[in-house]
Structure 1
Amino acid sequence: PEAASGVLEYAMKHFGELEIHATWYEKLHEWEDALVAYDKKIDMNKDDPELILGCMICLEALGEWGQLHQQCCEEWTLVSEETQAKMARMAAAAAWGLATGTVWKSILAWSQETPMMEPFTGQCLLYIRISSHWLNSALTKPETYWMLSSTAMAGESYSRAYGAMVSCQMLSELEEVIQYKLVPGRRDIIRETWWERLQGCQRIVEDWQRILMVRSLVISPHEDMRTWLKYASLCGKSGRIALAHKTLV
């Protein structure tokens, strides 16, 4: 990423007419610059769903939950069902980040109007909506879906397959969240398993953020200081100082 970022900076300096695409910054995980680029484009085309989603992706990566939730509320009724389905996951992330039941109620209302939704997001909403013994059987189909998706993506590229596997891990840990809540005797085992599993993940801030959000359904950062301090350290080493600060305070 550092080399690619240097090439981009060189090109911008020596080729003044070069059109900069926000997605370039996304791929480099330079989320602040990506957000600025998206904001400039949105000023010229406020109704482009791809630009709206791009802004939301940046806000999610930066941990700007208040802004993300506000944008979801403002844009939800103005976009298509297909775009709503893509927004739902980020709206759920904002709810987790804000840790407020009011936001969850809004998302549950949205989900009833939106038949198209990523399996993981759907199951998170299902977790809130129905009792846990129903959820155990309800999780089976989406898990199968993700396994098939990750197998197909593995044939295309490692990076795409890895993203799908992170989603598989999140879905699997959502099942473990149910066990954690229902079986107190297994809590220490599950927590240690989660810690060991996280050590095998790539050091990518966004992936760790998503995984820890699932776990936060049953474990607060104060109850899992070791993991959250490790996450804050990762944010700092990745140049995400603001996110590291938010995590620590």
Structure 2
Amino acid sequence: MDHDDFAMGNWLIVLAYLTSVVGCALGLACTLQARSTANSRSRLGWLALAAVSIGGVGIWVMHFIAMLGFSTPGLPVRYDILRTTLSAILSVAAVFLGLLVFGVRDRFAWRRLLLGGLLTGLAVNVMHYTGMWAVQIKGTIGYDVPMVALSVIIAVVAATAALWFTVALDKLLPRLAAGLVMGAAVTGMHYTGMAAVRLHLDPAAADPPGVEVFSFLFPVFVLATLALAVPICAVLTASASTESPRPVTQP
């Protein structure tokens, strides 16, 4: 065995999945708000919040929680900070592009759903493989092409299904299911992508540059908390204003 994806136990899979579900469900709720907003500036604001929730928390934070279990037994694993930061930026930007295509109009259209699902699914892959580019080991990292292709298909199909669930059924449970489906897309893609990894280790090589994953875990969780707090407040405020009764006018 050249690497272990579950060095900290299977519980990490559950934590990674739940993190992804929370980020994705909140982001999809923001997407729904964007589609029901007439003002174009407000719509872009909602889509930006959705991209931060899905791309920043649902994808990026989930990835690094799952990577806590990644190890090369007996050999160090380090992370390049600049590449790690780039993976976060690309994730949010790519998700925003996909949601922009899907949420730019309030009327449903299959072509926008399919293109938005494609771009959002590809965003998951862009983040994962850019994040893996940041991984530094004693040796080199390669990939099994068929497994990489499977990871792309999983992400695109499930992301498209999640977007459809968000708007096609105007009920709470299907919308919650959208977050579960999207979380499954991100988590399933991650572990499929990790199954595609082929390491070529060289114990005699110099220790890799970079930092350990635990060194930047605390700031990541602080950023994730902020990334969730703003959309949550926005969604709750929007819901409250929508549900508040209209003032009674005197005759």
Higher RCO (C-alpha under 8 Å, 6+ residues apart): 2
The TM-score with structure 1 as length reference comes to 0.32
- Higher helix fraction: Structure 1 or Structure 2? 1
The TM-score with structure 2 as length reference comes to 0.31
